[in-house]
Amino acid sequence: MSLLDIVGPVMIGPSSSHTAGAVRIGMLARRLWGWERPLHAAKLFLRGSFAATYWGHGTDCGLVAGLLRMRPDDLRIPRSFEVARAEGLDFSFDTEEIDGAHPNSVRVVMSDGAEQCEVVGASIGGGAVELRAVDGFPMVVPFDQPALIVMHRDQPGVVSAITGEFFRRGLNVARMEMERRVRGGMAVFVFVLDGAVPADLDERIRTIVPACRRVILLKSAEEGASA
């Protein structure tokens, strides 16, 4: 256990789980959407204790701040609603009860008017967060480890093509998850990786796996955030 685990991150308060964690969930969602890709609307569905206390702990401000690429220590977090409106981001909050959901979690539905992406994130304590689902596919991806998420049409050869590229680049897989709904339908691979990840890995995977619908490289959820 590190000192950071005990005292929490450098942040705008009041709570590491409900405020800093919320910012990082928002950042994670925006990272999955695309840092530079225009975001026009976000609907946020809060669960558990997030739903019960979000107005008092700044969870709502934190989530919107993260979607705007603010870091947990950004002094603009308390007025993130104002910043969002100035930047043309339409946002709304609701609550939902989901059996088995993490008590500090939120479902974020993002849209640019043409396409939509749905992300579920959970704040697990001390400002740390996890990605729990993308577009309805369950997964567990930690905030602080590099990961590659490949959403593709289910067909033979996908995993061998991806792991073959890992081998050629000397990348080691710490953990792998796979989920599919029906044979031949949409499926998702999640690879949590050890060490540094090449910046062009996602583009290379798109090239060698034509069945890909979406490839997401998470080197750091804070990479690309506003300084």
pLDDT band for position 101 (cuts 50, 70, 90):
confident
How far is it, in rounded angstroms, from Cα 60 to Cα 50? 9
Q: Evaluate if residue 56 carries a pLDDT over 80.
A: no
pLDDT tens by residue, 75-87? 999 999 999 999 9
Alpha helices, DSSP H, located in 106-185: 158-169
- The domain ranges of the chain are 3-142, 147-218
pLDDT score recorded for residue 130: 94
pLDDT score recorded for residue 58: 81
How far is it, in rounded angstroms, from Cα 15 to Cα 166? 39
Architecture of domain 147-218: 2-Layer Sandwich (3.30)
pLDDT band for position 49 (cuts 50, 70, 90):
confident
Name the average pLDDT for the chain: 87
By residue count, the chain amounts to 227
Tell me the backbone φ, ψ of residue 146, rounded to 5 degrees: -65, 145
How far is it, in rounded angstroms, from Cα 135 to Cα 24? 19
pLDDT band for position 100 (cuts 50, 70, 90):
confident
Q: In the CATH scheme, what is the homologous superfamily, with its name and number, of domain 3-142? A: D-3-phosphoglycerate dehydrogenase; domain 3 (3.30.1330.90)
Helix 158-169 vs helix 201-208: crossing angle, to nearest 10: 140
Around Cβ 213, how many Cβ atoms within 10 Å? Answer: 12
- C-alpha to C-alpha distances, 192 to 1, 33, 189, nearest whole angstrom: 21, 19, 10
How far is it, in rounded angstroms, from Cα 77 to Cα 54? 14
Are 70 and 133 within 8 A, CB to CB? no
Q: Which of 28, 22, 98 is closest to 63 using CA atoms?
A: 22
| pLDDT, average across residues 134-150 | 92
Which residues lie closer than 8 Å to 9 by C-beta, 6 or more apart? 16, 20, 72, 73, 126, 127
pLDDT band for position 207 (cuts 50, 70, 90):
very high
What percent of the chain clears pLDDT 70, i.e. is strictly above it? 87
pLDDT score recorded for residue 14: 45
pLDDT band for position 222 (cuts 50, 70, 90):
low
Tell me the three state secondary structure of residue 139. Answer: strand
Around Cβ 60, how many Cβ atoms within 10 Å? Answer: 22
Q: 72: cis peptide before it, omega within 30°?
A: no
| pLDDT, average across residues 119-135 | 92
Q: Evaluate if residue 195 carries a pLDDT over 90.
A: no
pLDDT score recorded for residue 19: 78
| pLDDT, average across residues 170-195 | 94
